[in-house]
Amino acid sequence: MIHVKDHKTYDMFNPFEHLGPKRLALLETSWAHLFREEILHQLPAEKLFELYDESKGRQTKELYAMLGLVLLQQMEDLTDEETVQQFAFNILWQYALNVTDASDFSSYVSTRTLWTMRDHVGHLGLDQALFENVSETLTKLFTLDTSKQRLDSVHIFSSYSQVWCLGKFHHATSLLSSLSVNGSMGSPSLN
């Protein structure tokens, strides 16, 4: 059975109120608040509906939270085990993914479930949709003019690889020239 929350309807009582006003204020000024309020409900969870039956079978994990979990895992470059730990115990992640219930069903995900969700994202081609949704949302939110966007990171990596290759080439040629001058036939190290 498909399980999704209506992220447009607010909770009657703040489920994180138990944290107190100071920690709640920290949450509301963190990246987690931005993710929860602006990005989470934009994720393409409806594209997963075709994989599940609406009335039969076991209830799915909350699909927006699962897509958000896959996204956060990639953003933080975490292993599956680290992601499961973050989902279960990190208040920022639970707040960002709108996990408001402390039950194991809501606050725990197995590595197999995470792997399956990531596999669904790959097979359905949702990775591109996730990237576009997040990019569009942040572009509108911060009123960014993408026509003035620079490709610095591409140039940096491209330039870095060229410098690395030139450095190795220079090192190899200097070793070869020293061999020809010294007449040594030993095997030099190319570190």
Residue 160 has pLDDT above 50, yes or no: no
- Residue 27: pLDDT band by 50, 70, 90 thresholds? confident
pLDDT at 165 over 60: no
Q: Is the pLDDT of residue 151 over 70?
A: no
Length of the chain: 191
- Read off the tokens for 121: 């994202």
pLDDT more than 70, % of the chain? 65
Indicate the average pLDDT of the chain.
75
pLDDT band per the 50, 70, 90 thresholds, residue 128: confident
Main-chain dihedrals φ then ψ at residue 189, nearest 5 degrees = -85, 135
Q: Where are the domains of the chain?
A: 17-147, 150-182
pLDDT at 29 exceeding the cut of 90: no
Maximum Cα–Cα distance for the chain, whole Å? 84
pLDDT at 109 over 60: yes
Q: Say if residue 82's pLDDT is above 70.
A: yes
- The H or E element containing residue 133 is helix 126-141
- Model confidence band, residue 159 (pLDDT cutoffs 50, 70, 90): very low
Beta-strand runs (E) in the chain: none
Question: What pTM does this model have?
Answer: 0.65
Give the integer Cα–Cα distance in Å for 45 and 67: 7
Q: What is the pLDDT at residue 168?
A: 54
Give the highest mean pLDDT range of 32-46, 64-78, 103-117, 119-133: 64-78
CA atoms within 13 A on the CB side of 180: 5
Per-residue confidence (pLDDT) for residue 170, from 0 to 100? 53
